[in-house]
Amino acid sequence: MGYPSLQACISDLEKNGHLIRIREEVNPYLQMAAIHLRVFEHQGPAILFEHVKGSKFPALSNLFGTLDRSKFIFRDTLEQIKTLIELKNDPMKALKQPFKYAGIALNAFAALPMKVSGSAPISFGKAKISDLPQIVNWPMDGGPFVTMPQVYTEDMDKPGIMDANLGMYRIQLAGNDYIQNQEIGLHYQLHRGIGIHQTKANAKGQPLKVSIFVGGPPSHPVSAVMPLPEGLSEMTFAGALGNRRFRYFYDDEGFCISADADFVITGTVMPHDNKPEGPFGDHLGYYSLKHDFPLMKVHNVYHRKDAVWSFTVVGRPPQEDTSFGALIHEITGEAIGKEIPGLHAVNAVDAAGVHPLLFAIGSERYTPYSNDERKPQEILTIANRILGTNQLSLAKYLFITAKEDDPDLDVNDIGRFMKHILQRVDLSRDLHFYTNTTIDTLDYSGSGLNSGSKVAVAVAGAIKRELWSELPGDFDMPRPFVNYKMVMPGILAVEVPKNIKHSDTPLIFEIMEEHLADKQLDGLPLIVLCDDAVFTAQNLNNFVWVTFTRSNPSHDIYGINSFTEHKHWGCKGPLIIDARIKPHHAPVLEKDPAVEKLVDKMGEKGGVLYGII
């Protein structure tokens, strides 16, 4: 049976050893986030903060901190939901095996939203924005944010819940130029459903009504982050996953209210009415900086009698949103592969911040009659489909290869996948650039907000080279690039001295070209320039984070013995990616040492986190 409320879920988790209570008062400024980060790092339980300084409301975090806990929460419905997804992709299965899928009808009934008479949270009372837990996660954040919201909007041309959008977009509660308790910031990025709704409202010159739900049954926030097909209501998915119909009604001002939510903030967004929002420590591991985003004028803040504020902390992966991604993959399986013909698997690499890097495997079947060596053809078509599909289109780097070359290759195995690519890549042929295009709003490696470039590296065919697992004894780099370290076979991290200006970049490559152009470097297809070679080479997670979050393909990819022929760029020597932090990049997230010491004490013997961290 599904949970009727967040409180029911909390009780169930606590009874089964999946939750701890912190009864001492905690500071919402940095301390709560630091506790969460440490507990998540140790794969610990959900955390209920009973006494939040400055607020009467308790707060919950790390609810979805492990895939095992998410599976426990949805243990009664997960298999049915996976079957529903499977049937969507192949409805003939139900006809071929009717008895196997007979029980799905009951779950489908739970998917239908239920309009109810006015009830909680309205029946209990109201609060002000300043009454809510003012949680600040990172030292340079522009103020407190809602980090686990469900933002509800309706389509003006097709009003009603079945054509509504429920998305998880961060909300800034205070700071900057916001009038306290009257205005909050609404941040959403490219390819979000709310953008379609606001575009229509702007065209009509009318305010967009927005309802922000916080808390409620755990199926509700999961539905807000699910990559559902356009036209499929998140509220129906929430009902099916939670085995409880999504209950809603409208208040006296016409705002949709989730009857099971713990909090509901209602307000309007006027056409072209923006204010600066941010900075905010985000999931790439850097701050997203201050930019103009929609301004929401607050109407009401409703809450239940026993309301619990739900939040999370984002930062350099892995974090709780990583576990969200694992749950989504658990539910959807290989659904994306069925949407794009010839695509077998795709992985938005979490360690690289998700959007900067994709690994994919496709089929290469265009010319099976040819006796020539297999080369990228069909996988190039698939690459274009991937980079034109929903949020996958925000990727910067796409490495795609042919399933026929290694049927057992796994897109989730970073080391093996990169080795497969580097053994086979033809750097003179296999790089395909997309310039002056869109990238993730949170990615500051490009030429402006939302602006940058992409490169698809499409690789097919037999192994072309044996990768160096260590450098030959006679290998060296020109001065001043004397600190370098192998990351993995075929990849070298080269540290650039900090006193070298970024304006000297052309000179750097002139020096490298002169030194390396005549050397035999076939076993070293990739060189990464970085600020710290030891850190970059320490592990593969560091390598992909540094390399793919700090580079813009069109600006930062170079090559030894490079050329341009018929508008195609390639190189005959190693590929070089300049992954140094540039002057226009956003700052890296760093923890507050004093707050970390407080958390250390909580983990000592007698402390509430003893045995957990």
Contact yes or no for 552/432 (Cβ under 8 A): no
Q: 277 to each of 67, 193, 442, 444, 558, how far by Cα in Å?
A: 32, 20, 13, 16, 35
What is the band of 91 on the pLDDT scale with cuts at 50, 70, 90? Answer: very low
H helix and E strand count, the chain? 18, 30
Alpha carbons 350 and 461: distance in angstroms, whole number: 27
Range scoring the smallest mean pLDDT among 99-108, 177-186, 318-327: 99-108
User: Strands 263-277 and 247-250, how do they pair?
Assistant: unpaired
* 170: nearest Cα among 293, 64, 50, 267: 293
Cα-to-chain-centroid distance, residue 250:
32
Alpha carbons 458 and 362: distance in angstroms, whole number: 10
Contact yes or no for 545/589 (Cβ under 8 A): no
Contact yes or no for 541/351 (Cβ under 8 A): yes
Contact yes or no for 316/545 (Cβ under 8 A): yes
pLDDT at 39 over 60: yes
pLDDT at 126 over 80: yes
> What is the phi/psi pair of residue 52, to 5°?
-100, 125
Contact yes or no for 505/496 (Cβ under 8 A): no
Cα-to-chain-centroid distance, residue 69:
20
Alpha carbons 45 and 63: distance in angstroms, whole number: 8
Percent of the chain with pLDDT over 90: 78
Contact yes or no for 88/62 (Cβ under 8 A): no
Alpha carbons 605 and 609: distance in angstroms, whole number: 9
Edge-to-edge order in the sheet of strand 397-402: 343-348, 357-362, 397-402, 451-459, 431-438
pLDDT, tens digit, 9 for 90 and up, residues 271-287:
989 999 999 999 999 99
pLDDT, tens digit, 9 for 90 and up, residues 401-458:
999 999 999 999 999 999 999 999 999 999 999 999 988 888 899 888 888 999 999 9
Helix then strand then coil, in percent of the chain rounded to 5, is 30, 25, 45
Q: Is the peptide bond before 113 cis (omega within 30 degrees of 0)?
A: no
Region of 13 on the Ramachandran plot (φ > 0 left; ψ -120 to 50 alpha; else beta): alpha
Q: pLDDT value at position 531?
A: 97
Rg (CA), the chain: 26
Q: Give 478-482's long-range contacts (Cβ < 8 A, gap of 24+).
A: 478/511, 478/512, 478/514, 478/515, 481/511, 481/512
pLDDT, tens digit, 9 for 90 and up, residues 290-339:
999 999 999 999 999 999 999 999 999 999 998 888 888 888 776 565 67
Alpha carbons 148 and 188: distance in angstroms, whole number: 13
* Number of Cβ within a 10 Å radius of residue 474: 6
pLDDT at 549 over 50: yes
For residue 227, the one-letter residue type is P
Q: pLDDT value at position 544?
A: 98
pLDDT at 389 over 90: no
Q: pLDDT value at position 311?
A: 98
Contact yes or no for 581/531 (Cβ under 8 A): yes
